[in-house]
Structure 1
Amino acid sequence: MNVGVIGCLNSKNIGDYIQTLSVINLINQSYTILERESLNNYKGKKTKTIINGWFMENPLKFPPSKHIDPIFISFHINPSIEKEFLNPKTIDYLKQYQPIGCRDKYTQTLLQQHNIETYFSSCVTLTLKKRDFMDSSYKDKRILIIGAFDRLKPSIRHNQGVIKALISFIKWPYKFFNYQFKNYIFRKWLNNQNYEAEFINQIVEEKISSHSEGIEKAKSMLKKIANSEIVITSRIHSALPAVAMDKKVIFIDDGLEHINHKSRLSGLTSFFKSIKLKEIRMLNLDSISVEMKHKSYSKEIEEKIITFLYT
């Protein structure tokens, strides 16, 4: 049996490959990584493929080829391309493989508006196991901070046209001050905690050029999560793996007002503690509980994928 999993070459987001690795760990057999943006061009042997994650940069590259036999689970549609994506051809294709397991409530509602049967599956990263990544470096009093301020970093939109570039240039001083001020508040609070802290990034500077590189970066990041007690992040694919590994999670939701961010979070925020940075000064780490609300979802994902592969 040929099995396919989704990869995302040229991504700078390790979270893409954390999702890939989550599926690989579930199937527990040989597999082929298929590029998300060229599923329509696949011409290999008939392949049972778990289609999950963020779709997509180019909606004209969908639906997948007839050589792919899919199950849709933890599936998210990018709001920026949803109108182009949900054309009659794609709607008919998705109906062939319904119900579609949606990673978020936004995607679920969107597909239901087109009379496509759906269910809320949550994310495959909730199936990750702490035992697969934990080692002797674990520390009780370690906080791992992963891109907690990513959404607040000011930038000038050079590649989005003159008007947007000008607007972002005008707003830059205020956004820079806001970013620096909130960073100061956070670090002052952090210094008063009796924890060792480590800062890492989920977004890398250079594009991931091979699937093996993406998998290795995902493993490295997951090991850091597994060997920490608390994770603070604004990245959903740092927060959900930490939840899966029974960690205390603090999700910073400043700067996530855009529909592209809000859509990805819908239905998932109940799995972790979500706060604004201004609230962190009042936060008592001992009061944060380890949530178990995800367990039924992770179990269902595992069962559906195994059933799909072996029937």
Structure 2
Amino acid sequence: MKDVKYAVMGCSRDITNVGDFVQAIAGRQFLPKVDMYLDRDLDLKKYDGDPVKMIMNGWYMHKPENWPPADNIDPLLVSMHINASVYDKMTTAESLAYFKKHEPIGCRDKGTMNLLQKNGIDAYFSGCLTLTLGKTYVRKEDNVTDEVLFVDPLFHYWSLKSMLLDYKKLGSRIRRGRFFDFSLKKKVFKENFTDEVLDKAIFLDQMIPKTNIENNFEIADKYLKRLCNAKLVVTSRIHCALPCLAMGTPVVFLNGGFGGYNNQFNSRFDGLIDFFNRIDINDETKVISRNFNFEGKIGLNNIPVNNIVHKPFAKELFSKAESFVNNSL
């Protein structure tokens, strides 16, 4: 058997969003071993160690000057998101040559796909690799708890208290006519969920402390196991909602507060957001709507069934990741 080395990408002790580690676990689960962790923003270009294979799914990038990666990294470029804030820096001649060398490029969202195709790169919408997490986290009815988890629901709808404690937040919301978003959040909850669900809801967020990589992976693992066994999950975090789809946990995505589709950070939703049962909130008109047919309020015994649009994408991602690893054995 070949002495192949494998690396996991996207892991830094400075990352404070567990979603980054959720994405790293999605890639790691396909590897026969892990020889090293490489920081997505700091290590890829300067890596000068032994040849290493790496599944390179994730968000690119906070430091685009450290792109493209070194030649001794053999990549599977799949589930990539290039943020609109760095479009120009990620489409330099050097970067496009790198993409051309490793095409076709699997894109986590259609915004990234369109960017690469516009620049002559063979690219396709792959969806997110977290859609394969059902490989490791298997939902069994005997293990399902009675937990109702609200994970960062409408987290951009700042509370009155947080605005009064932060004058920059307060000024921003007043200027944009969004001071009363906190009351709109309450309206979304009240109109769409029974009192029983709201009384039972456990509110969590995805932010984690700066510790070490091993501890952060442990936090992410416990987080995913909790999602896997929950009765219902309500969230505005895609790396909470996508794993729930993968594991078969009923999930409802609250789509509001992101500042409109033209916001530079919202290209990451394009395509992915169609996978979810959603409650959509128009931040301008304050209109609340659903993209799924469902009578009445969501209750403990009245939970919508997940959409299955994601399943062909999950199957293809599974196949590509396994082939990438198997071809090196």
TM-score category by the smaller chain?
0.7 to 0.9
The equivalent position to 1:294 in structure 2, one of 310, 314, 325, is 310
Return the match for 1:52 from 29, 47, 57: 57
Which residue is 2:254 aligned to? 252
Look up the match of 1:225.
227
Give the alignment partner of residue 276 of structure 2, picking from 263, 272, 276: 272
Q: Secondary structure at the match of 2:180?
A: helix
Any gaps of 5 or more consecutive residues in structure 1?
157-163
The structure-2 alpha-carbon separation of the partners of 1:170 and 1:259, relative to structure 1 and needing over 3 Å to count, comes to: closer
Shift of residue 235, structure 1, vs aligned partner: 0.3
Offset of residue 229 of structure 1: 2.0
Amino acid of the residue matched to residue 113 of structure 2?
Q
SS at match of 1:36: coil
Residue aligning to 1:186? 189
Q: Distance in 2 between matches of 1:279 and 1:169?
A: 23
CA distance in 1, matches of 2:64, 2:197: 48
Distance 2:100 2:303 in 1: 45
Contact 2:29 2:136 in 1 (8 A): no
CA shift in 2, pair 1:130/1:45, >3 Å: closer
Distance in 2 (alpha carbons) for counterparts of 1:37 and 1:82: 16
Q: 1:232 to 1:287 in 2, by over 3 A?
A: closer
- The structure 1 residue matched to 2:23, chosen from 3, 19, 31, is 19
Alignment of 1:138 onto 2:141: no
Return the alpha-carbon distance in structure 2 between the equivalents of residues 165 and 148 of structure 1.
18
Aligned to 2:205: 201
* Pairing 1:149-160 to 2, within 5 Å after superposition: 149-153=154-158
Map of 2:243 onto structure 1: 241
For 2:109 and 2:58, how far apart are their aligned partners in 1?
10
**2:104 is the counterpart of 1:99:** yes
Tell me the distance in 1 between the aligned counterparts of 2:36 and 2:89. 28
Q: Is the 8 A contact 1:129 1:245 kept in 2?
A: yes
> What CA RMSD, in Å, does the superposition of the two structures yield over aligned residues?
2.7
Partner Cα distance (1:189, 1:293) in 2: 23
1:80-99 deviation digits (Å, cap 9, x = unpaired): 11112211100111100000
Return 57-66 or 213-222, whichever deviates more.
213-222
CA contact 2:139–2:248 (8 Å) conserved in 1: no
Against the structure 1 CA distance between its residues 166 and 197, is the aligned structure 2 distance closer, same or farther, given a 3 Å change threshold? closer
1:189 Cα deviation after fit:
5.7
- CA distances 1:278-297 after superposition (whole Å, capped 9, x unpaired): 44895445361222222221
Whether the 8 Å contact between 1:73 and 1:103 is mirrored in structure 2 is: yes
What TM-score do you get using the length of structure 2 for normalisation? 0.82
The partner residue of 1:7 within 4, 10, 19 is: 10
Separation in 2, partners of 1:184, 1:293:
29
Name the structure 1 match of 2:285.
none
Secondary structure of 2:271's partner?
A: coil
Task: Report Cα offsets for 1:261-289 as digits up to 9, x if no partner.
Answer: 43111111222111135448954453612
**Separation in 2 of the partners of 1:252 and 1:71?**
32
Give 1:201 shift: 0.6
* Aligned mates of 2:297, 2:235 — CA distance in 1: 15
Distance 2:24 2:247 in 1: 17
**2:284 matched to which residue of 1?**
none
1:44 Cα offset (Å): 1.2
Q: Distance in 2 between the 1:249 and 1:169 partners?
A: 29
Greater per-residue helix proportion: 1
Q: Structure 1 183/137 Cα, relative in aligned 2: closer, same or farther at 3 Å?
A: farther
Cα displacement (A) at 1:188: 7.8
Aligned to 2:214: 212
In 2, the alpha carbon distance for the partners of 1:263 and 1:218 equals 25
- CA change 1:270–1:184 in 2 (3 A) is closer
- Distance in 2 between the 1:34 and 1:64 partners? 11
Which shifted more, 57-66 or 6-15? 6-15
CA spacing shift, 1:203–1:175, aligned 2, 3 Å: farther
Query: Residue 19 of structure 1 contacts residue 53 of structure 1 at CA under 8 Å; is this kept in 2?
Result: yes
Report Cα offsets for 1:60-91 as digits up to 9, x if no partner: 01000122111100000011111122111001
Greater mean alpha carbon deviation, residues 255-264 or residues 279-288: 279-288
